[in-house]
Structures are given as C-alpha cells and as structure tokens.
Amino acid sequence: MGLKNSLSDLLKIGEIKDNVIGLIEAKFELKKLEIQEKAERAVADLIYRFIFLIVATFSMVFMLILIAWSVNQWLGEPWGYVIILAIMLLILLFFHLKRDEVKEQIKEVIQKEMDAMDS
C-alpha cells in the first residue's frame, strides 16, 4: 500500500505541475492579448487624430483665405492678407515664447490618455 500511495502522490505532483505550467501559459497569453489590444487602440487613435488634423488644417487654411479675401474687399487689396499674416505671426510668436508650458500641457494630456488606456 505504501508504494501505491507513493506512486499516486507522484502522479498528483505531475498533474499539479502541469496545471501550474498551463496557468502560467494562459496568463502570459492573456497579457499578450491585452498589450496587443492596447497597441491596436493606440494606433487607431493616432490614425484618427492624424486624419482629423489634416482635415482641420485644410479647413483652417480655407477659412483664413476667406477672411483675408473679405478684409481685402473691405480695406483694399493687400491689407486682408497682411492682417491675417500678422495675426498668424503673433500666434506663432506666442507659441514659441510659451513652448515649454505648451509642451508640459501636451505631456500631461498624453499621460492622462495613457493612464486611461491602462484602466
């Protein structure tokens, strides 16, 4: 009886070992799928934002051309373009002077997005 119990115990240890290995493999596969899902979500979000940025940029350009044309009709030929150019240069100068603050705000938004993806 002692030998039979010993063999039975050895077989159970083998089953436990197989179960533990199976559990580890399953957890590894689950983590891999979770990481893949997060990566897919991030890439899809990046592509969407890129397309949105392109459309928004073209819309802004046409809106600025329309505004410049309207000001040209009101003040005379070159002044609409000059005023729009001056406004855009002032905005560019503002962003250049505040670049560190803007970068920090962008970094915070990215961090919040990454934290939201982890949840």
What is the chain's pLDDT, residue by residue, as a tens digit (119 residues)?
A: 555 566 566 667 777 778 888 899 999 999 999 888 888 888 898 899 999 999 999 999 999 999 999 999 998 888 889 999 999 999 999 989 999 998 899 888 888 877 776 66
> Rounded to whole angstroms, how far apart are CA atoms 84 and 66?
10
> Rounded to whole angstroms, how far apart are CA atoms 93 and 102?
13
> Rounded to whole angstroms, how far apart are CA atoms 61 and 83?
15
> Rounded to whole angstroms, how far apart are CA atoms 91 and 105?
17
> Rounded to whole angstroms, how far apart are CA atoms 117 and 45?
11
Query: pTM of the predicted model, to two decimals?
Result: 0.59
